[in-house]
């Protein structure tokens, strides 16, 4: 199931890169195959849901259930005439199950298969990117219709969360005997800088900043001072070079889109628009802070258009549309997952997926909608599954120790 989940999580980037070869919706197709594999595994007895009704897991599933109920209830009083049906369908039957499946059923081999599959998809996607860059130059991101490259945010996000996952795994394995043969810190440094540069040239401002924040946080926790200093210097040097170039120079070098990363002022079109959305959302929230306006109602209230629309902040979106109870239980849900992960942070799998989730939490404060949270919730579910692993292993270890002690005792008698 781990390999299927890789396709499900990365279906957006795969569809964009290979759209001419796909005659079906890859996201729905992989999700259906996942459900079939899951049902078959349950029927033959190879899979069963883990016991989640105790301790930290009970808090997580409780908050998740209340959040789901709040979303469904908000459909009863929504201001949206029609769009709410589409949004509710996508959230209930696609977004929320992307968390539940790994949360309830993922085993350690599923997580390992997911990691291996992620490496394969990453290598294929990056190879395709290098081919397009060699053909069209850095300007390839500005001529998407011709090159077939994904949206710059999709591309930036794909590179960012996969890079953080792989870097976390390398940091967790650097004391391994095999990895001691290599300079792991140098490999991490080169890998991180090359991926940061790819996000930079794509012009994905949010993914670049949040990738950098999460990466530096990861290095600080692991006390990798030798990596932090060169990364900081390289990023500052890159910014200094681009800010010193005038518009004609950036156009000549085909890095015009990259310079949008340096325009973080209020007068920036996208920044100004987001601040406007935040202000409008807050005004609307103060009018209906308890129940909200109902699922899918943001665009209809703000512009009069009954279509997809969101305030570019998932927390504001949930509060505005689903009410303060939904907002509170969603925060409890996130906090419980991260708290559980911190308690089990000794596992390299846990620490790797933890920082991917940190990246997504930052990212969803700046962009995207609840309907786009499929990838985030999938990684959150896998994080909980990895957090469950150490506890199982410790129980097995304690049981074996007791068996050995009992055998020694009987031998002495």
pLDDT 10s digits, 195-253: 988 888 777 888 888 999 999 999 888 888 888 888 888 888 877 766 665 544 444 44
What residue numbers bound the domain in which 190 lies? Answer: 53-412
Between 380 and 12, the more confident residue is 380
Would you state the pLDDT for residue 221?
87
Among 17-21, 169-173, 334-338, the minimum mean pLDDT is found in 17-21
**pLDDT score recorded for residue 177:** 53
Q: CA-CA distance, 405 to 400, in Å (whole number)?
A: 9
Residue 160: inside a domain: yes
CA atoms within 13 A on the CB side of 350: 19
pLDDT-derived band at 19, boundaries 50, 70, 90: confident
Which residue reads 């469904």 in tokens?
A: 72
Per-residue pLDDT at 407: 56
Q: pLDDT class for 404, splitting at 50, 70, 90?
A: very low
On whether residue 29 sits in a domain, the answer given is no
- Rounded to an integer, the average pLDDT of 131-154 is 69
Q: What is the pLDDT of residue 50?
A: 82
pLDDT at residue 343, rounded to an integer: 85
Angle at 217 between CA 371 and CA 394, to 5 degrees: 85
CB 35 within 8 A of CB 29: no
Average pLDDT, the chain: 81
Let me know: does 182 contact 220? Beta carbons within 8 Å. no
Which residues have CB under 8 Å from 358's CB, separation 6+? Answer: 214, 217, 338
Q: What is the pLDDT of residues 243-287, one digit of tens each?
A: 665 544 444 444 445 555 555 444 455 677 778 888 888 999 999
Average pLDDT over residues 84-106: 92
pLDDT, tens only, 338-395 = 998 888 877 668 888 999 999 999 988 887 788 889 999 999 999 999 887 544 444 4
Dihedral through CA 307, CA 67, CA 60, CA 52, nearest 10? Answer: -100
How many Cα atoms sit within 13 Å of 15 on the Cβ side?
16
Q: Is residue 32 part of a domain?
A: no
Angle ∠(37,38,43) on CA atoms, nearest 5: 100
The rounded distance, in Å, linking the Cα atoms of 146 and 288 is 46
Let me know if residue 16 belongs to a domain: no
48 in a domain, yes or no?
no
Alpha-carbon span 98 to 92, nearest angstrom = 10
Residue 106: left if φ>0, alpha if ψ -120 to 50, beta else—which one?
Answer: beta
13 and 118 Cβ atoms separated by less than 8 Å: no
pTM for the complete prediction?
0.86
> In terms of Cα–Cα distance, which of 385, 366, 389, 364 is closest to 374?
364
Report how far residue 255's alpha carbon sits from residue 147's, in angstroms, rounded to the nearest whole number: 16
Angle between helices 2-9 and 108-136 (to 10 degrees): 40
DSSP 8-state secondary structure symbol assigned to residue 304:
S
Q: Is residue 68 part of a domain?
A: yes
Phi and psi, residue 75, nearest 5°: -70, -20
pLDDT at residue 223 in the model = 83
The SS3 assignment for 307 reads coil
| Residues 127-139 pLDDT 10s | 888 887 777 766 6
pLDDT for res 367 = 77
- Per the structure, how many domains does the chain have? 1
d(CA 105, CA 90): 22
Residue 220 lies in a domain: yes
Contact, 97 vs 314, CB < 8 A? no
Helix-helix angle 314-322:55-74, to 10 degrees: 60
Q: Is residue 399 part of a domain?
A: yes
Determine which of 5-14, 105-114, 356-365, 387-396 has the lowest per-residue pLDDT on average: 387-396
Backbone angles phi, psi at 181, to 5 degrees: -75, -15
Q: How far apart are CA 92 and CA 73, in angstroms?
A: 12
């Amino acid at each position: 199931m781990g390999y299927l989940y890789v396709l499900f999580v990365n279906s957006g980037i795969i569809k964009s890169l290979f759209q001419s070869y796909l005659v079906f919706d890859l996201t729905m197709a992989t999700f259906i195959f996942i459900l079939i594999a899951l049902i078959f595994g349950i029927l033959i007895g190879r899979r069963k849901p883990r016991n989640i009704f105790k301790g930290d897991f009970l808090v997580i599933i409780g908050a998740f259930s209340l959040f789901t109920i709040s979303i469904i209830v908000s459909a009863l009083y929504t201001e949206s005439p029609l769009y709410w049906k589409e949004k509710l369908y996508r959230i209930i039957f696609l977004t929320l199950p992307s968390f539940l499946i790994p949360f309830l059923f993922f085993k350690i081999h599923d997580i390992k298969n997911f990691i291996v599959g992620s490496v394969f998809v990453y290598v294929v996607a990056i190879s395709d990117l290098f081919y397009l860059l060699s053909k069209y130059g850095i300007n390839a991101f500005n001529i998407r219709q011709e090159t077939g490259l994904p949206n710059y945010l999709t591309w930036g996000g794909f590179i960012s969360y996969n890079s953080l996952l792989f870097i976390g795994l390398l940091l967790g394995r650097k004391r391994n005997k095999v990895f001691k043969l290599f300079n792991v810190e140098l490999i991490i440094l080169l890998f991180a800088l090359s991926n940061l540069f790819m996000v930079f040239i794509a012009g994905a401002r949010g993914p670049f900043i949040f990738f950098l924040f999460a990466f530096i946080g990861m290095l600080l926790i692991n006390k990798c001072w030798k990596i932090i200093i060169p990364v900081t210097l390289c990023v500052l040097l890159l910014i200094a070079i681009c800010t010193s170039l005038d518009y004609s120079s950036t156009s000549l070098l085909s890095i015009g889109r990259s310079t949008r990363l340096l325009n973080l002022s209020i007068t920036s079109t996208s920044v100004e628009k987001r601040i406007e959305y935040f202000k409008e959302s807050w005004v609307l929230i103060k009018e209906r802070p308890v129940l909200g306006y109902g699922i899918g109602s943001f665009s209809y209230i703000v512009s009069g258009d009954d279509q997809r629309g969101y305030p570019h902040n998932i927390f504001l979106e949930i509060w505005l549309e689903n009410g303060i109870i939904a907002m509170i239980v969603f925060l409890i849900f996130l906090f419980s997952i991260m708290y559980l992960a911190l308690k089990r942070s000794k596992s390299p799998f846990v620490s790797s997926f933890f920082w991917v989730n940190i990246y997504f939490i930052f990212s969803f404060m700046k962009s995207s909608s609840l309907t786009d949270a499929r990838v985030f919730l999938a990684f959150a579910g896998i994080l909980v599954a990895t957090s469950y692993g150490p506890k199982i292993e410790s129980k097995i270890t304690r049981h074996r120790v007791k068996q050995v002690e009992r055998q020694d005792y009987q031998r002495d008698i």
